[in-house]
Amino acid sequence: MDGAPGGGRSAIVVVMKDWKSIAHAHGLDVSARDLDRIEGPLNALEETFRPLADQLPPDLEPDTELRLDAEER
Amino acid sequence: MIQEAAAELRARRVSAVELATAAIARIDRYNQQLCAFITVTAELAREQARQADRELAAGVDRGPLHGIPIALKDLFYTRGVRTTAGSRVYANFIPEWDATVVERLRAAGAVMLGKLNMHEMAYGITSANPHYGPVRNPWNTECSPGGSSGGSAVAAATRMVYVAMGSDTGGSIRIPAAFCGTVGLKPTYGRVSRHGAFPLGWSLDHMGPLTRSVRDAALVLNAIAGRDAKDPTSSRHPVVDYVPEEGGSIRGLRIGFPENFYFDRLDPDVESAVRGAIARAESLGASVRPVRLPDVAALNAVARMVLLAEASAVAQPVLGQRELFGADVLALFDQGCLVPATDYINAQRLRRKMRREFDRVWSEADCLMMPTTPNVAPKIGDTTVRLGGRDEDVRLATTRLVRGINALGYPALSMPCGMSGGGLPIGLQIVGPVFEEAAVLRVGAALEDGGVGIPPCPMG
C-alpha cells in the first residue's frame, strides 16, 4: 500500500478475494507462480480501496473522461 | 541552458550542426555505459541541424528551440523512426506519423537526436529494461535512474541533449528527474497533447519535458502546450507565456507545505534538503504555511486502481504474448485483468469526489511544496527501501508522493534541491492548481535563482 489510509475506516473488515478462482473464471492463462506474485499487491489494494468504494453515495457520477478546463467544470 | 545556446546560435558563434555534433559525441561517450538511448538518429539530427542553420541564415527564426538538440522517450510516435515503448512487442514498430508533441517540437526547430530508453511499456519506476538494457544513474552507475522516463533524465543530466521528453502516469517524469538531478515538469492533464504517445493509462498520462533548468522546461512547455483536436481530452484553456521573467519575485505568494502524509517516513537527507528549500522560499518573501490535505493514501489507492484497469485494457491485445514481457510488467498487467469493471467505475467516482476535496487547499495556498520522493535513487535491483525504520516495497515507496497528483491532474514540477550524504540528488516537488503551470514555474525559477540546486552531474 502507499501508506496507511485515514483512521476512521480501520474497523471495517475486508473479505479478501480468491484471486486464483477469479483468474481461472476469467480464463486468464496465468501460472500458479505468477498468481502467487500478484495476490499480495491485489489484497493490499483491496484493503484500502474496498472501504472507500463502499462509502460512495449513489448520486456521485464517475469521471470517465477527465476534463479540467475551467469553463467545463 | 537553452537560452544561452539560442543566443550563441543567433550570434553565429555556434551552429546547429556543431551543437548536434557535440550531442552525438556525448552520446557516443556515455551511452554504452548509461544505456540512455534505444535508437540514436545521428544522421537525421545532422540533416535537421543543417536545415536549422540554413533557416537561421535566411532569417527564418522558429524561436528559442530552433537548432537545439532534443531527444524523445521511446513512446512518442516518430515518423520513419522505430518506436518501441521499451517493449519487445513493438521492437520493429515504425510509425507513419509523428506524435503531436513531436510535430510541435519540430515546428519549433528542435533537432532530434533519438529515442530514449525507458521502463518497459512505461509501467514501472526502475528503467531496468530487460530488452534494451538497464538505464544507469550518472551520479552512481550502480543506482537506478528512476523511471519510467529513466533514459530521458539521464540524457538531460549528462548534457547529451538540452531537452528530453518524457511521460508521467504515476510519477514517471518527476521520479527520474529527482533521482538524476534534473528538472521535470508534469503539466496539467489536458495541457499537452497525448496524441501519438503510447498510452499507459489514458486518464492519467501526462507528457512533459526533462531539462537542466526550470526556464528550459518553461521554454519547452511554450512550444508544446495547447489544444489538439486529435486528443479528445486536450484543453481549450488559454495558453500563456510560461517562461518566468528574470529576477521574478515570489514575495507574498502563499506556499503551503503539507503537515500530513508528505513528510512521513522520509530519508533524513531528503527531509533536510526539502525543508531547506521551503525555508529559502520564505526568505525570498513567500508566505509559507502548513496545510492539511485530505487522505492521500486513499487517493493513491484510487489512482492505482484506475491505472491497473486502464493499463491492462491498453495492453490486452498483446498480452497473449506473455513471453515477450518482463516479469514485473506482466505481474501488473495480470493484476489489472482481475480488476472488475465496477471497481474501475467506482475508482473514477472516488476520483471526482477527491478532486473536489483536494481543490479546497487552493483557498489557503497558491502552490504546495513537498519532496518528490521519500528516498534517493536505490541500487539497481533493490526491491525494498528502509524508511522511518520500516522496509517498504521500493516501487510503492518511490511513487507514494507523486502518484496521487496524476489522479488530480494538477501541474507538478520536480527540481533538484540538494544532495544526499551518499552523493545522490534530491528532488523538491512544487504542485499548483490546474492550469497554473506559470505559477509553479515562477516559484521554481525563483528558487533556482535563489541558489536552490545541485552541482553539475559528474558526467555532465
For B23-37, write each residue's pLDDT tens digit: 999 999 999 999 999
Q: Please tell me whether residue B224 adopts helix, strand or coil conformation.
A: helix
Specify whether the CB–CB gap between B47 and B20 falls below 8 A: no
Phi, psi of B288 (to 5 degrees): -95, 135
Check residue A13 and give its pLDDT: 63
Euclidean distance between CA atoms A1 and B215, whole angstroms: 36
Interface list for B 257-276 with A (CB within 8 A):
261, 264-265
Helix axes A32-54, B296-315, angle to 10 degrees: 130
Least confident piece of the model among A13-17, B98-102, B414-418: A13-17
Rounded to a whole number of angstroms, the distance from the CA of B16 to the nearest CA of chain A is 38
Name the nearest CA neighbour of B67 among B88, B86, B53, B82: B53
Q: Is residue B324 part of a domain?
A: no
Q: Please give the average per-residue pLDDT across B386-413, as a whole number.
A: 97
Chain B residues with CB under 8 Å of A1 CB are: 297, 300-301, 396
Specify whether the CB–CB gap between B414 and B166 falls below 8 A: no
Number of folded domains that form chain B: 1
Domain span including residue A49: 29-56
Q: Is residue B227 part of a domain?
A: yes
Q: Is residue A11 part of a domain?
A: no
Q: Is residue B309 part of a domain?
A: no
Q: Please give the average per-residue pLDDT across A12-34, as a whole number.
A: 81
Check residue B162 and give its pLDDT: 98
Partner-chain contact A5 B301, CB within 8 Å = yes
Check residue A6 and give its pLDDT: 44
pLDDT 10s digits, B111-170:
999 999 999 999 999 999 999 999 999 999 999 999 999 999 999 999 999 999 999 999
How is residue B172 written as a grid cell? 514517471
Q: Is residue B226 part of a domain?
A: yes
Interface list for B 144-183 with A (CB within 8 A):
none
Name the nearest CA neighbour of B243 among B275, B227, B220, B266: B220
Q: Is residue B234 part of a domain?
A: yes
Q: Is residue A38 part of a domain?
A: yes
The reply to whether B87 belongs to the active site is no
Q: Is residue B241 part of a domain?
A: yes
pLDDT 10s digits, B190-232:
999 999 999 999 999 999 999 999 999 999 999 999 999 999 9
**Closest chain B residue to A4 measured between Cα atoms?**
B297
pLDDT 10s digits, B335-383:
999 999 999 999 999 999 999 999 999 999 999 999 999 999 999 999 9
How is residue B309 written as a grid cell? 484497469
Task: Give the CATH number, domain containing residue B95.
Answer: 3.90.1300.10
Q: Is residue B315 part of a domain?
A: no
Q: Is residue A33 part of a domain?
A: yes
Query: Is the pLDDT confidence value at A5 over 80?
Result: no
Euclidean distance between CA atoms B200 and B409, whole angstroms: 15
Say how many CB pairs under 8 Å bridge A and B: 128
Complex ipTM, two decimals? 0.84
Euclidean distance between CA atoms B442 and B459, whole angstroms: 28
Domain span including residue B123: 2-291+366-449
Query: Is the pLDDT confidence value at A66 over 80?
Result: no
Interface list for B 221-260 with A (CB within 8 A):
232-233, 235-237
Q: Is residue A22 part of a domain?
A: no
Please pick, among B144, B148, B152, B420, the residue that the annotation labels catalytic.
B148
Euclidean distance between CA atoms B202 and B413, whole angstroms: 21
Euclidean distance between CA atoms B219 and A59, whole angstroms: 43
Interface test with B, best of A35, A42, A46, A52 (most B CBs within 10 A): A52
Q: Is residue A17 part of a domain?
A: no
pLDDT 10s digits, A27-61:
887 888 888 888 999 999 999 999 999 999 999 98
Euclidean distance between CA atoms B200 and B198, whole angstroms: 7
Check residue A72 and give its pLDDT: 47
Q: Is residue A63 part of a domain?
A: no
Check residue A24 and give its pLDDT: 85
Number of folded domains that form chain A: 1
pLDDT, chain B, mean: 97
